[in-house]
Structure 1
């Protein structure tokens, strides 16, 4: 059992060739595969949920509804780590986009 109650990240499936992508840019949409945009939306929702949970835990601690500082600190640290990871991914995506834009045709 994970003491921090952090869910594990499922392994990624095989990457489909670019020739099989549809008009929306999602490969194998009829087969139920998840697209890159959907993965980003899901990751952003999880970061948002972690932030909301941290806010709730901190609010409960400040109002006296909860005396468990350990849980509140873990929730805040989890939200902070999730946000830092999201910002790192964002930076890498922007760098990749700029690199593609610098390519000469």
Structure 2
């Protein structure tokens, strides 16, 4: 049992070491070279737009499912409730991200020039 556990730990350590070496080999451009543009067409603003769009889509889907259950078109009350909870959790997570971003912006504003 002890040898088996030690072997698993060594295998995990070797995998982590390989991953770390792979990350060290990657070329990362300094922020000064980006000139405000994110590489590969990916930007923070676009990521936020996508997240807001997904939350909105989840909310609409949940509302449709609840309306179908209310009108008798569907008997899937459990699915409607799950969709509603998923939409609620997505919205809560988005608000937490917004709060963290706003806190970071406030901290950046407070930095001396």
TM-score range, shorter chain: 0.7 to 0.9
Could you state the TM-score of these two structures normalised by the residue count of structure 1?
Answer: 0.76
Partner of 2:33: 20
Q: Secondary structure in 1 aligned to 2:38?
A: coil
Determine the C-alpha separation between the residues in 2 that align with 1:17 and 1:48.
35
User: How far off its partner does 1:103 sit?
Assistant: 1.1
Name the count of aligned residue pairs: 87
Does residue 1:56 correspond to 2:64, yes or no?
yes
The structure with the largest alpha-carbon Rg is 2
**Structure 1 spans left out of the alignment, 5+ residues:** 1-13
User: Which structure dedicates a bigger proportion of its chain to helix?
Assistant: 2
Q: Secondary structure in 2 aligned to 1:60?
A: helix
User: How far off its partner does 1:19 sit?
Assistant: 1.8
Two-structure CA RMSD over aligned residues (Å): 1.6
Structure 1 pair 33/17, CA: closer, same or farther in 2 (3 Å)? farther
Q: Secondary structure in 2 aligned to 1:104?
A: coil
Q: Secondary structure in 2 aligned to 1:83?
A: helix
Could you state the TM-score of these two structures normalised by the residue count of structure 2?
Answer: 0.71
